[in-house]
Structure formats: C-alpha cells, structure tokens
Chain A
C-alpha cells in the first residue's frame, strides 16, 4: 500500500518570508498524481497545487511551488511571500491506484 509521510506536524513562518513543507511517499507505481491541499479553519479542503508524476517540470501556482523529486519520492511545497491567510493545515496527497493523504502540517504565519 502506498503511504504518504509529512514529517513536520507544525511549522511557523514570518509574514513575507518563505517556508517549505515536506512530504515523502512510498509507491511502486510509475503513473500517479500528487497534490497539496490547504484546510483553513473553515474546514473546506482547497486544492493548492497538483503535480503529474510523468512531468519533470515542477508545478507552480503564483506564490506556491513544488520541488518534485521522483527518484527520491519527495514532494515538498514552497510558499513564498507568506501571508496571514496562508495559515492552515496543509495535506500532501497521493493518487495512484488509490488515494492517500498525509497526516498534515499545521502552518502558523506570524505578523
């Protein structure tokens, strides 16, 4: 079974600075998708960014980018110019033959 590991239960960043959230996964599949979801206190799960495993280029969405290392099975999320509204739980997720989520990282943004 595929597993998704987020080794940082909590992270903190100063407003306007950059933070990186880590995610590793274990799989024997070659074709899959990776996601980062954001869950603010409102509880809605919001898709932040998506990466197809067959693409070598790292996905980017405005201030959010990923560092996808397929051989290392690593998928970290970088948030640049952090804003107060970025404070939330962040979940890394894997979708191959099934769907798996990491345990989450709680991000605090300090003003």
Chain B
C-alpha cells in the first residue's frame, strides 16, 4: 500500500531556530511536494522536486529551502523560523505523470 511518512505530527519551535521537516515515500515516485495549509487559503505549494537533487519553487518559497539527496526523501527547511510560519505542513508524492498525489498525515508546526 502507498505510504508517505512525515517525521513529526506536532512540532513546537522557537523564533530564529532552524527547523527540519522530513518526508519519506516508499513508492519510488519521481515527484515530491511540500505544501502548507492555512484556514481559508487551502493548500499552497512551497517547493517541489521532480528528481534527486532537483527542485523548483512553488507559490510561497520565501523563508524555506528544500533538500532531496535521495529519491525517497524530501526535506523542508525553515532557515530561521518566524511566527508567520506557524501552519500545517503537508508532504506529497506522485509518479512521473503527476496524475495522482499521495499525501502524508501532515505536521502541525508552531513557532513561538
């Protein structure tokens, strides 16, 4: 069965900290995505990756970076966390044709 695993379900960090959110998929998918979800705004794409070491900016990349050293793992990095980055973060993966995306359970991140 399809599995996208996010390392934490809840996370609390302080302003200015460097934060790592990890995502692993076991489906050998080429594409992986990071979204944030905020009430009334739906899902907004932060970054996506279509291959190892490849990345593309989404709608709201500012304040974030990503890393894809291995095909199965896609990390989201908050370089210096700020309170406006408090949100729900969702990771997803999809095969090459992008017909479907499989989502992880989400990480609720609070920046204090």
The answer on a CB contact under 8 Å between B105 and A50 is no
B41 at the interface (CB under 8 A from A): yes
Nearest-CB distance from B38 to chain A (Å)? 9
In the complex formed, the residue of B with least CB distance to A46 is B103
Number of interface residues of B (CB under 8 A): 21
Which of B41, B58, B92 is within 8 Å of A45, CB to CB? B92
Residues of B with C-beta under 8 A to A47: 100-101
Residue-wise, chain A 86-111 has the 8 Å CB interface mask toward B (1 for contact) of 00000101010011111110000000
Number of interface residues of A (CB under 8 A): 22
In the complex formed, the residue of A with least CB distance to B31 is A99
The answer on a CB contact under 8 Å between A104 and B103 is no
In the complex formed, the residue of A with least CB distance to B9 is A43
Given contacts A9-B40, A103-B40, contact A43 B92 (CB under 8 A): no
> What are 11 inter-chain pairs, A to B, with CB distance below 8 A?
A9-B40, A35-B100, A37-B103, A43-B88, A45-B90, A98-B58, A99-B48, A99-B101, A101-B35, A101-B43, A103-B40
- The 3 A-B pairs at the shortest CB distance, nearest first, are namely A45-B103, A101-B43, A103-B42
Contacts from B to A (Cβ < 8 Å):
33, 35, 40-45, 48, 58, 88, 90, 92, 98-101, 103-106
Given contacts A4-B42, A98-B58, 20 further A-B contacts (CB under 8 A): A9-B40, A33-B99, A35-B100, A37-B103, A43-B105, A43-B106, A45-B90, A45-B103, A47-B101, A91-B42, A91-B43, A93-B43, A95-B98, A98-B45, A99-B45, A99-B98, A100-B45, A103-B40, A103-B42, A104-B42
